[in-house]
Amino acid sequence: MKTKKLFPLEKLISTIAISACVGFVAPLAVNAIPVAQAASAVTGLPDFTELVEKTGPAVVNIRTTEKMQQAQGMNGMEDEQMQEFFRRFFGMPIPKQAPAPKGRKQVPQQEEEVPRGVGSGFIISQDGYVLTNAHVIDGATDVYVKLTDKREFKAKVIGSDKRTDVAVLKIEGTKLPKLTIGDSDKIKAGEWVIAIGSPFDLDNTVTAGIISAKARDTGDYLPLIQTDVAVNPGNSGGPLINMRGEVVGINSQIYSRSGGYMGISFAIPIDEAMRVADQLKGTGKVTRGRIGVQIGEVSKDVADSIGLQKAQGALVVRIEAGTPAEKAGLQDGDVILKFNGQAVEKSTDLPRIVGATKPGSKATMTVWRKGAIREMTITVAEMEQDKVAQKAEKKAKKEQTNFLGLAVGDLSDAQKKELPAGGVVIESADGAAAAAGLMQGDIILTLNNVDVKDAKQFTSMVAKLDTKKTAVVLVRRENISQFIPIKPQAK
């Protein structure tokens, strides 16, 4: 950590005043500027205190939990002591216990609620609707919402949309504090904004900055607001608030090479988020249009070569069979310049415009083909729901994991230098492996006392295991290694 230089208050005030007036610090005496003038310069800076007092009560902390199978020991006190021992010295839950010896009754497994993650959110109605990020609640068994007055509610997930990373929760309450929804179309670069959330689970933390850019193309279905407001893990789902106390965005992403804040953060425009939220509140899902094309950017060279006056539009590079695009007569090489009267300035505009079009409706397209403008009509189809994609994702994941519930990969170059004997890193842990306490990022060194060299060998070793017997792995986590038994779960 770099050492911070501290300055006396009087010198700091003088420096602020001089910098504000002439742009540099002149070598003047500390008392060269009158106190009234210095005070004026300080009070000219933004004061967020009233804004925070007004909006803070409607910002909530969100914690999620997941229910997992946990083996129970014969002696409650002994089991509790062993759990505490493992937490303190190994940083992981106690592994599943082996079957009880003959003559002793094995207590059935029970579900245990374990912490999964924390995030932020904000109340948008007095009857308890809450907005947050979809990734904050993804995979959670239960979701809890805590207000600044320490009241905590178990929330119902009304719906979530991974494509825009927006989720709607509902808590049971009346006359709850709520935030005013602003207009993200009216924001300007350079405008002051604040973020309130729970970075690293520190409730109601306030950070401030300015809007750096209005529409960054970092998402498929919405342009994000870029700011320099400090946002860290746990801030996700919290509000981005303007100086009028209105929500203009939902803090969602950061640009980082370290995992922490590096001066660039992104927020979902509140206009887009509310459109998604309204659909989730109404039907529990989001309906989007599609036409069945794959598109590319129109570069200046391409525009010049096909006779376009400027680089604009979406270049059609592939048309899916049986889709509205094929039926409408679109061809590879066409450039879509307008859709339903809306200009397509760049290729990323088209998915957003089409996605916002009601499925089943007819739309007009302005297309550039072989040096001429063509007007075409197309009937918009409906995009597959997220749950369809989730099923495909789960199926693929299931195929990649073995019967222990493990998906592994080879060590990185840095890890290989640290562990020359080899090993594999866990990419995902489900089922029996998750119940045993294994986690993503753990390194498996041995399987049943046989050294593990790489992922290919580990996969081969697992394939030869008796699926009815407990396997024992030597696992390394944060420079600590321990043996963990994995008992396959009954199908």
Domains and CATH numbers, the chain: 9-45 (no CATH), 47-71+109-287 (2.40.10.120), 289-382 (2.30.42.10), 387-486 (2.30.42.10)
pLDDT tens across 19-39, in order? 333 233 334 344 444 545 544
Q: Is 135 designated active site?
A: yes
Sole residue written with tokens 């005070």? 39
Model confidence at 122, pLDDT cuts 50, 70, 90, reads very high
In angstroms, the CA 390 to CA 274 distance is 23
Q: Is 451 designated active site?
A: no
Model confidence at 383, pLDDT cuts 50, 70, 90, reads confident
117 vs 393, which has greater pLDDT?
A: 117
pLDDT of 437 > 80? The answer is yes
- Active-site residue, selected from the candidate residues 135, 212, 256, 386: 135
Chain centre distance of CA 225: 15
| Both structure tokens of 188 | 């300007």
- Active-site residue, selected from the candidate residues 14, 120, 236, 265: 236
478 vs 98, which has greater pLDDT?
A: 478
In angstroms, the CA 153 to CA 170 distance is 9
Model confidence at 7, pLDDT cuts 50, 70, 90, reads very low
Angle at 207 between CA 204 and CA 213, to 5 degrees: 130
Model confidence at 377, pLDDT cuts 50, 70, 90, reads very high
- Active-site residue, selected from the candidate residues 14, 120, 161, 165: 165
Q: Is 386 designated active site?
A: no
Average pLDDT over residues 177-202: 94
pLDDT tens across 137-176, in order? 998 889 999 999 999 999 999 999 988 999 999 999 889 9
Model confidence at 88, pLDDT cuts 50, 70, 90, reads very low
Average pLDDT over residues 367-393: 78
